[in-house]
């Protein structure tokens, strides 16, 4: 019997989500079109443009973002994504960012070079930190946890199939289409009426808490295309009258490009149904989802990352960036600041992950209000905590630096 390999499942999963999200959020389709033009123009004008990835890979590349409400939901997501060859990498704590968000996160993605080359689809996944007393008092925590415990993000049969596909490393070809389609649909926007009073109560604590635990499902929050020149993208989107957030998150423009630069625009309101306290159901709107775009550079070593954090802390970092980072790959490599394959400065290892400060900035800039944060116990969330959760489900939480070391060796 013929079988479909994981990378093909992953490519179909990404394409299926993209088609669904484009139908739900039309501005996404504009963003994808403009991104493709930016990339084609950039490659035409720059002979070395493909050093960070082929035009085909970069133009097809996406990351998604989802948000879940409990460790059990996060474990199910991990099992589902394992079927697509996507594994949790890194631990991000957005609760202590300058604009705090009550979540801890990881990114599911391929971890091997050849798998990344075939299809690098990744999903930034955040879990609501209900045990953090600074955001949730015990009464609210109990009600949120009960609400989340009684919903089902995924059909248990889908998770069983995913477990089998992950173990086998492939899916019977006859079942692949159905499996991928069911996985895609699990991330569509819910049509169930939203309990207005509950949603509003959560919104008063945090808009992200309401988006996660105020509804009966999860959904793709955004899908992000990759561009080779994000400043050009920003200008072209602004010229089309799409109001981008004030700043590009991450490092300033500099060659060689390092890590990740991102920007976003607020999506328009989307129609949602609401159940009012008097029992009536009304049409209303919510403005939660948004559009985002990214540009990727070379992955930094621990030493490079320390430099990065110091450079980012400067008040006028665009002007002072050159005091921290050299302007050639050869110097980046010889100073041990970034990863290059076999140490060859012509072969940068692309950064495949995310940045906590940028992620918090992206969350924040697309919300109307800041999360309410009091004093109190932050709960036991940590790298170790998340690694144990995945381990109990037979999965490993990967250290991004170990993966870059391996890619460079």
Size of the site for Ni ion (CB under 5 A): 3
What is the C-alpha separation between 92 and 126, in angstroms, rounded? Answer: 9
Cβ-contact 371, 135 below 8 angstroms: yes
- Strands in 136-236 per DSSP E: 170-172, 194-195, 222-225
DSSP 277-323: TTS-EEEEEE---EEEEEEE-BPB-HHHHHHHHHHHTSTTHHHHHHH
- Of 35 and 126, which CB lies nearer to ligand OOG in the complex structure? 126
Residue nearest to ligand OOG (CB): 359
Q: How far is the CB of 264 from ligand OOG (least distance, A)?
A: 8
Q: Is 365 helix (H, G, I), strand (E, B) or coil?
A: helix
| CA 94 – CA 65 distance, rounded (Å) | 14
> Concatenated DSSP letters for 326-338?
-SSHHHHHHTT-B
Contact set with ligand OOG (CB under 6 A):
65, 67, 124, 126, 221, 262, 292, 354, 358-359, 362-363
- CB closer to ligand OOG out of 124 and 308: 124
Q: Which residues contact 394 (CB under 8 A, 6 or more apart)?
A: none
Question: Does 397 help bind Ni ion (rule: CB under 5 A)?
Answer: no
Nearer to ligand OOG, 132 or 292 (CB): 292
For the bound state, the minimum distance from the C-beta of residue 64 to ligand OOG, rounded and expressed in Å, comes to 8
- Give residue 259's region: left, alpha or beta (phi > 0; psi -120 to 50): left
121 binds, among Ni ion, ligand OOG, none (CB under 5 to 8 A by kind): none
Nearer to ligand OOG, 104 or 184 (CB): 104
- Asked if 65 is part of the footprint of Ni ion (rule: CB under 5 A), the reply reads yes
Distances (CA, A) of 357 to 70, 93, 283: 23, 9, 36
Say if CB 184 and CB 24 are below 8 A apart. Answer: no
Q: Which is nearer to ligand OOG, 4 or 130 (CB)?
A: 130
Q: How far is the CB of 267 from Ni ion (least distance, A)?
A: 13
Name the residue nearer to ligand OOG (CB basis): 39 or 262: 262
User: In angstroms, what is the minimal distance from the CB of 387 to ligand OOG?
Assistant: 21
CB 160 → ligand OOG: shortest distance, Å? 27
Q: Is 61 in the site for Ni ion (CB under 5 A)?
A: no
Q: List the single partner that 221 binds among Ni ion, ligand OOG, none, CB under 5 to 8 Å by kind.
A: ligand OOG
Q: Tell me which of 292, 329, 352, 353 binds Ni ion, using CB under 5 A.
A: 292
Q: How far is the CB of 25 from ligand OOG (least distance, A)?
A: 13
């Amino acid at each position: 019997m013929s079988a479909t390999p994981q990378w093909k499942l992953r490519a179909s999963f990404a394409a299926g989500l993209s088609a669904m999200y484009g139908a739900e959020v039309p501005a996404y389709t504009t963003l994808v079109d403009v991104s493709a033009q930016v990339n084609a123009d950039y490659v035409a004008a720059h002979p070395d443009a493909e050093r960070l990835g082929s035009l085909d890979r970069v133009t097809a590349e996406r990351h998604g973002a989802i948000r879940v409400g409990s460790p059990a939901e996060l474990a199910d997501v991990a099992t589902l994504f394992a079927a697509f060859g996507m594994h949790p990498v890194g631990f991000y704590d957005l609760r202590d960012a300058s604009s705090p968000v009550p979540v801890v996160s990881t990114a599911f993605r391929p971890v091997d070079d050849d798998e990344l080359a075939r299809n690098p689809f990744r999903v930034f996944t955040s879990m609501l930190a209900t045990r953090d007393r600074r955001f949730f008092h015990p009464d609210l925590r109990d009600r949120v946890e009960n609400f989340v415990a009684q919903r089902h993000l995924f059909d248990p049969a889908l998770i069983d199939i995913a477990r089998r596909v992950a173990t086998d490393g492939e899916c019977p070809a006859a079942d692949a289409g159905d499996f991928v389609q069911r996985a895609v649909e699990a991330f569509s926007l819910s049509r169930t009426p939203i309990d207005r009073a509950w949603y509003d109560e959560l919104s008063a604590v945090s808009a992200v808490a309401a988006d996660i635990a105020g509804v009966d499902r999860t959904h793709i929050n955004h899908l992000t295309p990759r561009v080779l020149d994000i400043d050009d993208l920003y200008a072209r989107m602004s010229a089309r009258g799409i109001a981008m957030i004030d700043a590009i998150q991450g490092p300033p423009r500099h060659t060689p490009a390092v890590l990740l630069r991102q920007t976003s625009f607020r999506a328009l309101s989307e129609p949602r149904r609401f159940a009012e306290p008097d029992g009536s159901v009304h049409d209303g709107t919510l403005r939660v989802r948004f559009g985002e775009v990214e540009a990727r550079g070379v992955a930094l070593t621990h030493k490079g990352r320390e430099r990065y954090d110091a450079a980012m802390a400067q008040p006028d970092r665009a002007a002072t960036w050159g005091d921290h980072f050299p302007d050639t790959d050869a110097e980046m490599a010889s100073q041990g600041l970034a990863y290059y394959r076999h140490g060859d400065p012509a072969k940068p290892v692309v950064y495949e992950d995310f940045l906590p400060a940028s992620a918090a900035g992206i969350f924040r800039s697309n919300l109307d209000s800041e999360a309410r944060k009091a004093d109190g116990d932050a709960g036991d969330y940590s790298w170790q905590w998340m690694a144990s959760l995945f381990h109990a489900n037979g999965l490993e939480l990967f250290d991004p630096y170990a993966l870059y070391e391996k890619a460079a060796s």
